[in-house]
Amino acid sequence: MSHFQTSFDARSAAVRVRFGPGVRHQLADEITHLGCRRALILSTPPQADGAMEMAADLKGMAAGVFTRAAMHTPVAVTEEAMEHAHSVDADCLVALGGGSTTGLGKAIAYRTDLPQIVIPTTYAGSEATWILGQTENGEKTTLTDPKVQPEVILYDAELVRTLPVGMTVNSALNAMAHAAEALYAENRNPMSTMLAVEGLRAFAAALPRVIENPEDLDARGETLYGAWLCGTVLGQVGMALHHKLCHTLGGSFDLPHAETHAVVLPHALAYNAIAVPDLLAPVTGIFGGSNPGRALFDFARSMGAPMALRDLGLKRDDVAKAAELATRKPYWNPQPVTRPAIDVLLLAAWAGDPPAA
């Protein structure tokens, strides 16, 4: 199938990517390659042991360790980490973890221009984008700036083996959502489409193998490869209805990030398949069936993903409020976004029903 378009704009970031089991042990070389000598290692509290081990491996090249990264990048934590970076005279940042830790590294880099090396341990894909979301006074804002793009990414499949199965599935569906929406993005280009199709294929092939055996290093590697492709595509094109719904549900109703993506994605795809069946044809090509939304619904269910927003804590009474918020200032979307249609979509997602064909 050709992804050719008669005209398009494209951009790609100059990022050094290294991939392979054990590649994290090359970290000292990467720090030297950046012209740096004193790295500040970042992690969340549960990943503090890994961060300490990494610092011990680096010997004199680890200037310090900061282990208080938190979900949604609170500005107060960023300020604390910046003080720490200053006090230990750090000249680069190493983020070991998922999107929360990567977000902290990006937030520090945005304010200080320190170079970043990211060692991802989930599939969120933040390491491959210029996007930074931050929270202050209970409000999340997002900015896009080349300064926040990490310079180096080390993808080491050994590190995702510890990701529990439930989190693995949710994180994978979160990544797949970036690729699925990229297929119909207003500013898509042939390269973003190729990345999206291959990212979805990688997850379709490898995720069932990971669920069967979470220790399978090859399968873990292929899912991490999928995460790189899906994250890269997120950094290249704009997002539409699916991401708008997830941002509304996460931002205004405090629903968990990756789980919300997992539930909403089949419904958003079914909604948009009405307008752009050809652009979504790769989804059924990869996952089977004749309707992209239903195909992903069945795939997510077979992986044991959460299927209903009510199980994530959304109250029945909040469905209408969420529909109102999500349709007030909608993102561009191939299928017109109307309040009655979003009411129906969110009600099905709330109940865990299959998406309308």
> The sheet that has 62-66: what strands, in order across it?
16-19, 152-155, 116-120, 92-97, 39-42, 62-66
Min dist. Cβ of residue 134 to ligand NAD (A)? 9
Residues 127/129/130/136 CA torsion (nearest 10 deg): -70
Residue with Cβ nearer ligand NAD (240 or 270): 240
CA-CA distance, 294 to 284, in Å (whole number)?
A: 9
DSSP 334: S
Residue in 76, 134, 79 with CA at minimum distance from that of residue 112: 79
Min dist. Cβ of residue 332 to ligand NAD (A)? 19
Min dist. Cβ of residue 247 to ligand NAD (A)? 9
Residue in 129, 131, 245, 227 with CA at minimum distance from that of residue 176: 227
Beta-carbon neighbour count of residue 357 at 10 Å? 10
CA-CA distance, 200 to 152, in Å (whole number)?
A: 24
User: In this chain, which residue has its C-beta nearest to ligand NAD?
Assistant: 99
Min dist. Cβ of residue 21 to ligand NAD (A)? 14
Residue with Cβ nearer ligand NAD (121 or 236): 121
Min dist. Cβ of residue 341 to ligand NAD (A)? 26
Q: Which spans of this chain sit near ligand NAD (rule: CB under 6 A)?
A: 44, 46-47, 71-72, 97-101, 103, 121-122, 124-126, 129, 131-133, 159-160, 162-163, 167, 171, 234, 257-258
Residue with Cβ nearer ligand NAD (122 or 291): 122
Residue with Cβ nearer ligand NAD (166 or 330): 166
